Amino acid sequence: MVQILLIDDEEPIRKLLARIIELEGYKVSTASCCSDALQQLRKQQYDVILCDVFLPDGNGVDFIFDIKKYSNDAAIILLTAHGNIQDGVQAIKNGAFDYITKGDDNRKIIPTINRAVDETEKKKGKKTTSVAYSFDSIVGKSNELKQAITLAQKVSRTDAAVLLTGETGTGKEVFAHAIHQASQRASQPIVDINCSAFSKDLLESELFGYKAGAFTGALKDKKGLFEVANHGTIFLDEIGEMAFELQARLLRVLETGE
């Protein structure tokens, strides 16, 4: 079972988040401060660690380094009630998997945890993309599914941008990866990002990158995911949750390739 450590000094929030996460089937341990968390990290390995930024005995952004001494493979998600892009950039630079503002972004916590779990499993070799995401791995007998597979196979032979629609859990990610694996881009990277798991500013930085000095905390150039996925595929999950300004910028990328 996936092991998650939740570090937050506010007991009501800690209990609420723990319950929400447990309802998703994850095993949750909790800590109220850095020292308490370190005691647990010495005894137990965790897959995902959620840590508040402001703790009684430390700062979560700096505490990332201590966490990694004991759980280097864990995905670290920072939580804060007062988020800003500078803290977010510094957290990512220090090795955090993601940075979420509590309250407004509560609905993003579970998708972000799911994405973090997927990432840690990939690191551990539990998921082989070429096998898990081939068209042959898609199981179903309905005519509608067969038609969708046939269309996806045709699309995989082109460089067209593809819009996948469907209810949650219908396999959009599986189809996206299967299209990539069947395409001429299969030897190049496929990069996934859940657009609903990022604030507008952080998502813009993730997609398009930035130059050193662009804002406080931007100490060096960062490649955007479009550049990382160059000659490969980028899968934008939950694209409908993207801010309209970013959707307009994305449209320009799709139209011009720049």
Q: Which of 123, 141, 163 is the last residue of a domain?
A: 123
| Stretch (H or E) spanning 23 | none
Query: Are the CB atoms for 80 and 98 separated by under 8 Å?
Result: no
Q: Return the pLDDT at 168.
A: 78
In this prediction, residue 21 has a pLDDT band, given cuts at 50, 70 and 90, of very high
3-state secondary structure of 33: coil
Do 119 and 133 fall within a single domain? no
122: pLDDT strictly greater than 70: no
State how many domains the chain has. Answer: 2
From the CB of residue 138, how many other CB atoms can be counted at a distance below 10 Å?
16
Q: Which residue has the higher pLDDT, 248 or 196?
A: 248
In this prediction, residue 49 has a pLDDT band, given cuts at 50, 70 and 90, of very high
Do 106 and 155 fall within a single domain? no
Query: Are the CB atoms for 58 and 34 separated by under 8 Å?
Result: yes
Do 179 and 251 fall within a single domain? yes
Do 155 and 113 fall within a single domain? no
Q: What is the pLDDT of residues 64-81, one digit of tens each?
A: 999 988 888 899 999 887
214: pLDDT strictly greater than 80: no
Who's near 69: CB < 8 A, 6+ residues apart?
none
Do 166 and 202 fall within a single domain? yes
Q: Return the pLDDT at 130.
A: 43
Do 162 and 64 fall within a single domain? no
Q: Return the pLDDT at 126.
A: 43
In this prediction, residue 133 has a pLDDT band, given cuts at 50, 70 and 90, of low
Q: Which of 107, 123, 139 is the last residue of a domain?
A: 123
216: pLDDT strictly greater than 70: no
Two structure tokens written together for 64: 């990332």
Do 117 and 138 fall within a single domain? no
Do 142 and 103 fall within a single domain? no
Average pLDDT over residues 16-43: 93
Q: Return the pLDDT at 128.
A: 39
Range of the domain at 91: 3-123
Q: Which of 104, 123, 142 is the last residue of a domain?
A: 123
Do 90 and 159 fall within a single domain? no
Q: Return the pLDDT at 155.
A: 93
Round the average pLDDT of the chain to a whole number and report it: 85
Who's near 227: CB < 8 A, 6+ residues apart?
209
Q: Return the pLDDT at 4.
A: 96
Average pLDDT over residues 31-58: 94
Q: Return the pLDDT at 124.
A: 60
Residue 119: CATH number of its domain? 3.40.50.2300
pTM above 0.85, yes or no: no
Do 221 and 114 fall within a single domain? no
Do 200 and 138 fall within a single domain? yes
Do 102 and 139 fall within a single domain? no
Average pLDDT over residues 230-242: 89
